[in-house]
Structure 1
Amino acid sequence: MFVLVNLKAYPCDPVAVAEAAADVAEQTDATIAVAPQSADLARVAETGATTYAQHVSPVEHGSHTGSVLAESVEANGAVGTLLNHSEHRRKLADIDGSLDAADRVGLDTVVCANNPEQIAAAAALGPDAVAVEPPELIGTGTPVSQADPGIVEDAVAAAEAVDPSVDVYCGAGISTGDDLEAARELGASGVLLASGVAKADDPRAALEDLVEPLV
Structure 2
Amino acid sequence: MFVLVNLKTYPCDPIAVATAAADVADDTGVRVGIAPQAADIARVAETGVETWAQHVDPIDYGSNTGHTLAETAAEAGATGTLINHSEHRLKLADIDGSVRAAERADLETCVCANNPDQIGAATALGPDSVAVEPPELIGGDVSVATADPDIVTDAVEAAGAVDESVDVFCGAGISTGDDVDAAGDLGATGVLLASGVAKADDPRAVLEDLVDPVA
TM-score, reference length from structure 1: 0.99
Structure 2, unmatched stretches of 5+, are none
Correspondence for 2:163 = 163
Distance 1:141 1:102 in 2: 32
Correspondence for 2:121 = 121
Mapping 1:6-85, distance limit 5 Å: 6-85=6-85
Matched, 1:195 2:166: no
Deviation at 1:214, TM superposition (A): 1.9
Task: Give 3-state SS (helix, strand or coil) of 2:27's partner.
Answer: coil
| % identical aligned pairs | 71
Correspondence for 1:148 = 148
Q: AA paired with 1:116?
A: P
Deviation at 1:26, TM superposition (A): 1.3
Correspondence for 1:172 = 172
Deviation at 1:201, TM superposition (A): 1.0
Give aligned pairs, total: 215
Deviation at 1:27, TM superposition (A): 2.2
Deviation at 1:139, TM superposition (A): 0.5
Structure 1, unmatched stretches of 5+, are none
Q: What are the Cα deviations for residues 54-87 of structure 1, in whole angstroms up to 9, with x where unaligned?
A: 0000000000001000110000000000000000
Q: What are the Cα deviations for residues 135-180 of structure 1, in whole angstroms up to 9, with x where unaligned?
A: 0000002100110100000000000000000000010000000000
Deviation at 1:29, TM superposition (A): 3.2
Task: Give 3-state SS (helix, strand or coil) of 1:27's partner.
Answer: helix
Distance 1:16 1:210 in 2: 17
Q: AA paired with 2:34?
A: V
Contact 1:29–1:214 (Cα < 8 Å) also in 2: no
Segments ≥4 residues shifted beyond 6 Å: none
Q: AA paired with 1:58?
A: P
Q: What are the Cα deviations for residues 117-152 of structure 1, in whole angstroms up to 9, with x where unaligned?
A: 000000000000000000000000210011010000
Correspondence for 2:136 = 136
Correspondence for 1:99 = 99
